[in-house]
Amino acid sequence: MIKEIIMSGLFGATSTTDEVLAGVDLKGKRVLVTGVSAGLGVETARVLAAHGAQVVGTARDLAKARAATEVVRAGEANGGSLDIVELDLASLASVRACADALIADGRPFDVVIANAGVMAAPFGRTADGFETQFGTNHLGHFVLVNRIASLVKSGGRVVIVASSAHRMAPFSLDDLNFESKTYEPWAAYAQSKTANILFAVELDRRLEKRGIRATALHPGGIQTELDRHVGAGAIEGMMAEINAALAAEGKPPFQRKTIPQGAATSVWAGFVAPADAVGGRYCENCHVSEVTDAEISPISEGVRSYALDPATAKALWAKSEDMVGERF
């Protein structure tokens, strides 16, 4: 069954959110989407509301998010809606306050999409002293999702946006805050994205008994605000390296996805793919990705085995609990 889902070809790299959700009625569904102030988060909220879902979006900058999501309001004509709540993933106080408010509200969620994040940021620390990318991309979502896990309905899903960048550097639980080793922005980003995948693996194991499945995914290469810390020259250099590697594999040059194409895998994994096919797995281009430890170009498909390793996932969970000072 898994192999059939991987190879079905029903949707692919160029599929858009509207194509993936064609004919899907989401009326009565309630969805949490983090990071709705730009890019993939806005598009995800737009298409879900357009299909009738009640969307709760989070943002650090509420004014920016309200302006960016004006396009979502059109979905309210189909019964969909969007509410925006404040959340700064780089502050555990903000994360806990957001989670407490959602718990106090009490309304359950069918799907949670952990979409927000930062990429290749200069060295910095979160409000709690964690390396910025690990603290924001992983630990912020780790605390948020665990604190509101009781709100996710049986039969629901948690979708975590990771990245093929997890293949850029090996993963180690040692020195996650870069206190001893030299900081490198892309290595830190890779570490945080591997952590996203491992979180999904262990979360899926823990929640499956409630009928809830968790999955991680790579949205693809898209030009969004996520690039803001990467200079134009650096991006051009990366593209040259990627295209040289693709040429060596006999593949055509890399083409960036549009934002609707980039958000397609999130809605596919959340609402279209069979739950048992994606649970505990890593997806890209609207299908489940195969495991490969071969040397491949940064943009080729495939997930590293270390990112799906159950023992590492359990160890990261315990380490994350120690770091945030909570047990889940």
Q: Give strand pairing partners of 222.
A: 257
Side chain identity at 79, as an amino acid letter? G
Q: Would you state the pLDDT for residue 248? A: 80
In a domain, 326, yes or no: no
Q: What is the number of other CB atoms lying within 10 angstroms of the CB of residue 125?
A: 13
Q: Would you state the pLDDT for residue 205? A: 98
Task: Note whether 105 and 85 are within 8 A (CB).
Answer: no
Q: Would you state the pLDDT for residue 232? A: 53
% residues pLDDT > 70 (the chain): 91
CATH code for position 173: 3.40.50.720
In a domain, 325, yes or no: no
What six digits make up the tokens of 140? 């912020």
In a domain, 324, yes or no: no
Give yes or no for residue 35 having a pLDDT over 70: yes
User: What's the mean pLDDT in 239-247?
Assistant: 73
Q: Which domain holds residue 288?
A: 2-319
Q: Would you state the pLDDT for residue 228? A: 54
In a domain, 85, yes or no: yes
pLDDT confidence of 234, banded at 50, 70, 90?
Answer: low
Please calculate the CA angle 40-46-51 and round it to the nearest 5 degrees: 130
Query: What total of structural domains would you count in the chain?
Result: 1
3-class DSSP state for residue 221? coil
pTM for the structure as a whole: 0.91
Distances (CA, A) of 262 to 62, 233, 311: 23, 23, 30
Give residue-wise pLDDT tens across range 272-316: 999 999 999 999 999 999 999 988 766 678 999 999 999 999 999
In a domain, 327, yes or no: no
Task: Note whether 87 and 56 are within 8 A (CB).
Answer: no
User: What's the mean pLDDT in 183-198?
Assistant: 96
What six digits make up the tokens of 150? 């009781």
In a domain, 328, yes or no: no
User: What's the mean pLDDT in 93-114?
Assistant: 98
Q: What is the number of other CB atoms lying within 10 angstroms of the CB of residue 304?
A: 20
In a domain, 151, yes or no: yes
Q: Would you state the pLDDT for residue 7? A: 43
Side chain identity at 57, as an amino acid letter? G
Give residue-wise pLDDT tens across range 51-102: 999 999 999 999 999 999 999 987 787 899 999 999 999 999 999 999 999 9
Which residues are known to be catalytic? 183
